[in-house]
Every structure is written in structure tokens, then in C-alpha cells.
Amino acid sequence: MISTGGTFTAFFDANVLFSPLVTDLILELAVANIYRPKWSQKIHDEWISAVLRARPNADESALRRRCAMMDAAFPDAMISIIAPLTWPELPDPNDAHVVAAALVARADVIVTNNTRDFPEPLMATLGMVVQSADEFLRHALAVSRSTSLEAIETLLHRRKKPAPWNTSMLALELESRPLLRTAKMVRELTSS
């Protein structure tokens, strides 16, 4: 478990940034200084392409605005790499960009929902941990109860459609993504 507060860095794979709700929670915890977020332009392009494949009627310009807002909110989050290195140990050679960008970012953790695509022995030699979004969020929420509660309240305050959200709605939405451990942690944090 990463429990070093705002002193650790997380690099996000595109599949984690697909859901606006998950991204909102991830970024709200970064705003609260739980950790430092990192991504690349290629990651932005990949999650936008995935959204457009899943929802052909989605407004690409709105998705690009979301990227611009993320980049503006976290000006040091964007990582540039010239040419990614290659690692024969990776099951998917396309993931070399994620590993290379995470190295440039000096990330402590790569957050991806395809954890098995990042073999633990390779990641250990590179000094990184790989976590699913569910595992990462559960650990991030555990760093500081009061800070996490404030981040959750801020997120709920912004979520007003179709009606104002409460923690039960948030937990149910997280479960549907399926972020079961995160939903359980949200319930635990807000129930006591």
C-alpha cells in the first residue's frame, strides 16, 4: 500500500481515464494533495479513441476540452517522451509507452485496469508497482480520512444530474464500474 501522502506519483493508463466519474474521483484526490498525477498525450489520445469507439455519438471536442481542463489543472502532469524503450517482457508491445512515460515521470505506481500486462518482476526491477484503478483508489482514500472525505464532498457537490448526488449514489456508481473495494471504502469513510 502506498501511504506517503502527496509524496508519491501515479502514472495513469488510458483505460483508467475512460470513465468521467472515475477520473473525477482520481483527480479530486490529486487536488487534495494525496498524490501527484501523470499522463501523456498518447494516453489522452488513447482514452478519447476508446470513448469514441464505445460511444460513436460522443462529442470529440468535449472530450478534448476534458483533456485541456485536466492539463490546465495539473500543469506538471503531462509527460513527454521522444521514443519509448522496448521491453520483451511486456505481453503487449504497445504498453512500452506506458512504462517509458512512467519512468520519465518517476512514478511510484502505474494505474491500469490491465495489471497482468505489466509483469511484476519487470516492474519491480524498474522500481514501480502496478495497481488497478480499484486498488489505487482504495489505497489513496486510505491515506487521509479527513482529506478523502473533503474530496468526496467536493465531488458530490459537482454531481447534480439527474439529481444531487449523495454517498450512496456514488458508491453504487462506483460498484457499476466495477470498483467494489473503492465503493466499500467510500461507504466506510462516510458512515462513521
Percent of the residues in the chain that have a pLDDT greater than 70, as a whole number: 94
Q: pLDDT per residue over 133-189, tens digit each?
A: 999 999 999 988 899 999 999 988 888 776 678 888 889 889 998 899 999 999 988
Return contacts of 140-144, CB within 8 angstroms, 24+ apart: 140/2, 140/26, 140/29, 140/34, 140/35, 141/29, 141/182, 141/185, 141/186, 141/189, 142/1, 142/3, 142/185, 143/2, 143/3, 143/4, 143/5, 143/34, 143/35, 144/5, 144/32, 144/34
**pTM attached to this predicted model:** 0.90
Q: Which fold has domain 5-191?
A: Rossmann fold (3.40.50)
pLDDT of residue 1: 34
For the chain, domain boundaries: 5-191
pLDDT of residue 94: 87
Look-up of cell digits 501523456: 40
pLDDT of residue 4: 39
Banded pLDDT at 83 (limits 50, 70, 90): low
Residue range 102-121: mean pLDDT, rounded: 94
pLDDT of residue 36: 95
